[in-house]
Chains A and B, each alone.
Chain A
Amino acid sequence: MSTVKNKTALNKLAMNPIKTNIKKYIILIIAVVMTTLLFSSLFTIAGSMLKEVQLSTMRQVGGSCHAGFKYLSEPEYDLVKDDPELKDITFRIIVGVVDDERVIKARTEVSYYEPLAAEFSFCYPEKGSMPEAENEIVLSDITLDALGVSHEIGTKFSMSVEINGESKLYDFVLSGYYRGDPISMAQMALVSRAFQEKYAPTKQNPITEYEFNDYTGWICADFNFSNSIDIEGKTQALIDRTGIREDVDTGINWAYVGGRLDPSVIFVCGILLITFFGAGYLIIYNIFYLNIISDMQEYGLLKTIGTTGKQLRKIVLRRATFVSVIGIPVGLVLGIGIGGVLLPVISNQFSTVSIDKGELHLNIWIILGAALFSYLTVIISAGKPCRKASSVSPIEALRFTETRGKDGKPKKKFVIVILSLSLALLVLNSVFAFVSGFSMDGYVSSMIIADFSVQDASLDNPSVSYVETQAIERDFLDALERQPGVEAVGNIYISEGEQYFDDATWSKIENGLLKDDMVREKIAYYYGEDSVEDHIARLNRDKSLDGNTYGMNEMAVSKLEVIASVDGSDRIDWEKFNSGNYVLITRWEYENNYCLNFLDPGDKVQIRSNDPQYMEMIEAELENGEVIAYPGFENAPSREYEILAVVDIPYAMELQRYREFQCDYILPESEFLNLNGSWKPMRTIIDVESGEEESMNEWLESYTTAVNPYLEYDSKDSVFEEYKSFSNMFQIVGTVVSIILALIGLMNFANTIITSILVRSRELAMLEAVGMTGKQQKISLVKEGFVYFVWTLVVSTILSTLMNFTLLRFIMNEIAMFEWHFTLVPLAACLPVICLLILIIPVIAYNRLSKRSVVDRLRVE
């Protein structure tokens, strides 16, 4: 097409009607603002939370790099460092670990870092600088606080560092520090290259099997590719390309590994997104559709005087752009603002990062996405009358009236209005149902078993690989006994290992549990699809399952949940159990609370003693011919017990580490000690008399800091506190989101009614001209609104009820922290307001209209 210089004419045609019909466009802009607000606040919160979760994963992993190689020698590092496919590559060299009483609760590793590596590992000094001189060091504020060293650059101090298995006191000067995150697996201490070369010289030969327990002097390389797609494949390609040894220790940053999302979560998010988009789309579409009559007439007029379809589309596009240019930025700012206000509240309740928490992570793509979606909706909605006008002859367009149903009402418009109103209410009702269904009572009860729980400081920390399971010393128990207000004390002992079965018992397991599809699925999940048969064959050969044996006293046993027992009772008869002939057994559990009994009450099992005196080193030959030795109790004596009951051990009491079967036994304390010799409890739970919580809290606080810093305690109050702020978060966020949605729904309704009156100002003037009084007109408008109201009421009630009973019930029953119950409260709250609007808006709108004379209104559209 030749370039036609008709811009000014088109501009005038596009923009002048906006000036003369400003009310209509204000309503359109409001609709665009609301829709954009809806999308952008949603995207901001979701996007920022995802980013925060990713960041938190990175902090736990200890770096933001895509992948890394561990334990390289210098020549090996040289092989990869210049690879052209790598965007960045940097390294650190491991020196040792701080071995100091003061940092027992803040494990601190000592390394030399390149500045870039420090940045990637979140430990670049925020105050001060990287270490240069041999004795300079950078620490985290957490380590500094633990050491009791002041946060002042240049402070001199000494601490003991273990290098190559040897602990020695070194003198340092603080050259800088960074803010440490307690969720990190370890805090970092950054030393100078000179210090590292002096005490942990860089290794020059590839690592061998014998050196696997010696980390000193090895290079850990971290690198980024140009993007995070298929990092695993790219890393393998890097190994092949550079010729670095095939068995190099590779770490893929799982913060970048997708697919960790549950399909049901994706499904739910998808449904929510579609509903939100649907509601937003309908809000805009609705308003445009209501204007179709006047628009069609205008387009028809333009067509009769020679405007081509193409020019018509340009005019429409220009108007749509005008509406968007004003509406979308306003909506974005408001949406991001609301998101920003809500974020800290939401973020505080999730254990993600603990520094810079609740920060807005604005992703340009997300914002563009929200803006683009609003814009597209506007264009599509605005284009509808335009497309219609360009497809019919000018005269038909001029005479356009809507297709009307049998009763003379425009059918399609009616359906769209009702649908858009109902959908907004449906979203509101669903969000409210979800939020109000939040209940952590069930969840918390498994977290709170007693008033206090005392254990090793690292026992319940999932990031620590070796934990002390005999941390409760006699001293502590004696001191506890002397404390006033103690009601009951429960000791929990544990001996980890394997459970062995005799032939008869094993055949029951072999033909019961091991035949179950879910068991095979779990084995496949652990060992791969191909190894299921081999693994089961190995189990049948050994006749053993992994599992721990607990010892518990009367108080602890009383906290167990009885699933099935010999006598059908749901309580354990302590006298009988304590006789020494009985044992309790747990169940096999898999996803979604799928449980199976290993054995049933009345069955008999053998328990082998784990008394250290029976321990012997057992030698075994590996596939490659190598012989290794491990401690075992093959020849220890065992005793037979009858299963008294099948029980569940509450989460707060057990060792929170799980293997594939987890066939756990529970013996009475005395019998446990009888069998295993001298043993110390893993955990002690304490109930106090009411009113004594405060003093017990103080005593435990001082005991676990001053007397035995290796111990840590949890209190019911602190868990409850956590729970309370979590449910507060839900209330605040739920309320704000509900208010936004309710406002959007109500404004949508008001918009609809006002537009339908504005659009018909000529029709109304005609009615007035033939003698319909203002009062009669108002009444008929209110009646019309009432029909909308009744339909909205019916449709939204039906949809909300369906949603309640299907999707919501399904989701909320899936998630432990939610309790489904039927609710239509938001509808009940909103519908009267809508009813009021129906009465008020027509009156106001009509009064404004009637300020102009009938003739005036008849003349111009």
Chain B
Amino acid sequence: MSILEAKNLTKYYGEGDTLVKALDGVSLSVERGEFVSIIGTSGSGKSTLLHMLGGLDNPTSGTVIIDDKDISGLKGDELCIFRRRKIGFIFQSFNLVPSITVYDNIILPIQLDGKKPDKDHIDNVIETLGIESKKNVLPSKLSGGQQQRVAIARALASKPAIILADEPTGNLDSKTSQDVLGLLKTTGKKYNQTIVMITHNDEIAQMADRTIRIEDGHIFA
């Protein structure tokens, strides 16, 4: 049964001569618990696709269905809340809030939802990711690998059904990349999460259950 489905997604930027088709009729489907990697070169439209899948950006046409819900029908805050509860994001540039501590960053989406963080679960995640000693420092004091672990911890903290990762290792060296991916894979299995990861690196893409190739806005399965 598919948890995430995209039908005929298109995203155009500009118009006339400067029209860029970032996505041009993309359809795909991801099963529950699957680890899928989307691979493509720079400019192939992979980040755009991920943003569409997560409802971070609006497609020009087409639909995205998450857990049987068509998210193109959701507006503004509705979409935001749906996303917050269903999807964990991991960004290439981490996107940590610089002014609050690591721990606060991790529990932020849960708090925004007005829920009590599941302390055991979060401690578990923090321990798994090996960042216990950094809990109370500001993100700016961490290395890139450490920041990405915090971002992963944040994505896992609310136990979302789906994790969308945009080049999670893009800013990391190869040793750290391996560590982070390993963690992502184990935690995914541990918490039975669906993971969609974007990368331009074949080697990394191979770690997934399935690989989808994207080029010039088109998908090649």
Q: Which residues of A contact B (CB under 8 A)?
A: 2-6, 8-10, 12-13, 16-17, 19-21, 301-311, 390, 393-396, 398, 859-861
Assess the B97–A301 pair: CB atoms within 8 A.
yes
Most buried by B among A4, A16, A304, A306: A306
**Does B95 lie at the interface of the complex (its beta carbon under 8 Å from any beta carbon of A)?**
yes
**Contacts A20-B99, A301-B97, A393-B57 hold; do A859 and B140 have CB atoms under 8 A apart?**
yes
A393-B56, A395-B57 known; A307+B114 contact, CB < 8 A:
no
Partner of A390, one of B76, B89, B99, B108: B76
Whether B57 and A396, one on each chain, are in contact in the complex, defined by CB atoms closer than 8 angstroms, is: yes
Chain B: minimal CB distance from A562 (Å) = 80
The CA of A220 and the CA of B29, in the complex, are separated in Å by 94
> Which residue in chain A gives the minimum CB-CB distance to B116?
A5
Q: Residue-by-residue, is B146-177 near A (CB-CB < 8 Å gives 1, otherwise 0)?
A: 00000000100000000000000000000000
Partner of A9, one of B91, B98, B112: B112
Q: Is the CB of B109 within 8 A of A306?
A: yes
Interface residues of B in 58-91 (CB under 8 A from A): 58, 76-77, 80-81, 83-84, 89, 91
* Interface assignment of B51: CB less than 8 Å from any CB of chain A: yes
- Smallest CB separation, B114 vs chain A (Å): 3
Q: Does B20 sit within 8 A of A, measured CB to CB?
A: no
Q: Is B100 an interface residue (CB 8 A)?
A: yes
| B114 and A301 contacting across the interface, CB-CB below 8 Å | no
Which residues 126-143 of B sit at the A interface, judged by CB distance below 8 A? 140
Q: Is B104 an interface residue when CB atoms closer than 8 A count as contact?
A: yes
Q: Which residues of B contact A20 (CB under 8 A)?
A: 98-99
Q: Which residues of B contact A303 (CB under 8 A)?
A: 80
Is B111 positioned at the interface, with any CB of A under 8 Å from its CB? yes
Closest 9 CB pairs of A and B: A4-B114, A306-B84, A9-B111, A16-B99, A308-B77, A17-B99, A395-B57, A308-B80, A6-B114
Q: A301-B97, A304-B56, A306-B84 provided; 15 other pairs, C-beta below 8 A?
A: A4-B113, A4-B114, A6-B112, A9-B104, A9-B108, A9-B111, A20-B98, A305-B89, A305-B97, A305-B108, A308-B112, A394-B56, A394-B57, A395-B56, A395-B57
> Nearest B residue to A305 by beta-carbon distance?
B109
Do B80 and A5 touch across chains, with their CB atoms under 8 A apart?
Answer: no
In whole Å, how far is B119's beta carbon from the nearest beta carbon of chain A? 15
Residues of A within 8 A of B97 (CB): 13, 301-302, 305
B51 nearest in chain A by CB position? A395
Task: State A794–B66 Cα separation when bound (angstroms).
Answer: 58
**Which residues of the partner chain A approach B108 to less than 8 Å between Cβ atoms?**
9, 13, 305
User: Does A19 contact B111, Cβ atoms closer than 8 Å?
Assistant: no
A-B contact pairs, 25 of them (CB 8 A): A2-B114, A4-B113, A5-B114, A8-B111, A13-B97, A16-B99, A16-B100, A17-B98, A20-B99, A301-B97, A303-B80, A304-B91, A305-B84, A305-B97, A305-B112, A306-B83, A306-B112, A308-B76, A308-B81, A393-B58, A394-B56, A394-B57, A395-B56, A859-B140, A861-B98
Q: How many pairs of residues, A versus B, come closer than 8 Å at their CB atoms?
A: 81
Least CB distance from B145 to A in Å reads: 15
Report how far A59 CA is from B139 CA in the complex, Å: 70
0/1 interface trace, chain B 38-63, chain A, CB 8 Å (1 if under) = 00000000000001000011100000
- Decide: B57 and A301 in contact? CB cutoff 8 A: no
Q: Is the interface of B mostly helix, strand, loop or mixed?
A: helix
The CA of A686 and the CA of B95, in the complex, are separated in Å by 90
Q: What's the tally of chain B residues with a CB closer than 8 Å to chain A?
A: 27
The 8 Å CB contact of B154, one of A5, A13, A17, A305, is: A305
Interface pair A860/B140, CB less than 8 Å apart:
yes
Taking CB atoms, residues of chain A closer than 8 Å to B58 are 393
**How far, in angstroms, from A10 to B99 measured CA to CA in the complex?**
12
B13-49, CB < 8 A from A: none
Contacts of A311 in B (CB 8 A): 112
B80 touches A307 (CB 8 A): yes
Q: State in angstroms the CA–CA spacing of A737 and B109 once bound together.
A: 51
* In the bound complex, CA of A310 to CA of B140 (Å): 28
Chain A residues with Cβ below 8 Å from B98 are: 17, 20, 860-861
Give complex CA distance A19, B140 in Å.
15
Q: Is the CB of B154 within 8 A of A19?
A: no
Whether B57 lies near A6 (C-beta < 8 A) is no
Interface centre among B99, B104, B109 (most CB of A within 10 A): B99
C-alpha spacing A302/B111, complex, angstroms: 13
Tell me the bound Cα distance from A12 to B111 in angstroms: 11
* Complex contact B99–A19 (CB within 8 A): yes
Contact: B99 with A307, CB < 8 Å?
Answer: no
Q: How far is the CA of A302 from the CA of B113 in the complex (A)?
A: 13
The answer, among B77, B95, B111, for a CB contact under 8 Å with A301, is B95
CA distance A5 to B112 in the complex (A): 8
Contacts of B154 in A (CB 8 A): 305
List residues of chain A with CB within 8 A of the CB of B107: 9
Check if B112 sits within 8 Å of A12, measured CB to CB.
no
Question: Smallest Cβ distance from B47 to chain A, in angstroms?
Answer: 9
User: Cα distance A534–B36 when bound, in Å?
Assistant: 101
CB distance from B132 to the nearest CB of A (A): 21
For residue A249, give the distance in angstroms from its CB to the closest CB of chain B: 68
Rounded to whole angstroms, the CA-CA distance of A620 and B164 in the bound complex is 107
Contact of B77 among A3, A10, A309, A861 (CB under 8 A): A309
Bound complex: CA A861 to CA B99 (Å):
11
CB nearest to A310 among chain B residues: B77
A6 and B99 contact, Cβ closer than 8 Å, known pairs A304-B89, A310-B77: no
Report how far A3 CA is from B114 CA in the complex, Å: 8
Cα distance, A390 to B114, chains bound together (Å): 20
User: Are B76 and A13 neighbours in the complex by a CB distance under 8 Å?
Assistant: no
Q: How far is the CA of A8 from the CA of B110 in the complex (A)?
A: 12
Minimal beta-carbon separation of A714 from chain B (angstroms): 72
Q: Given the complex of chains A and B, what is the CA–CA distance between A17 and B154 in angstroms? A: 20
The answer for the CA separation of A461 and B184 in the assembled complex, in Å, is: 96
Q: Are A12 and B100 in contact (CB under 8 A)?
A: yes
Chain A residues in 8 Å Cβ range of B112: 6, 9-10, 305-308, 311
A307 to B83, alpha carbons, bound, how many Å? Answer: 10
Q: How far is the CA of A218 from the CA of B42 in the complex (A)?
A: 101
Residue among A3, A305, A310, A860 with max Cβ neighbours from chain B (10 Å):
A305
Minimum CB–CB distance from B173 to chain A (whole Å) comes to 17
Say how far B203's CB is from chain A's closest CB, in angstroms: 28
A5 nearest CB neighbor, chain B only: B114
> Which residue on A lies nearest to B151, using beta carbons?
A305
Q: How far is the CA of A398 from the CA of B56 in the complex (A)?
A: 11
Which residues of chain A have C-beta atoms less than 8 A from B57's C-beta? 393-396
Q: How far is the CA of A306 from the CA of B97 in the complex (A)?
A: 12
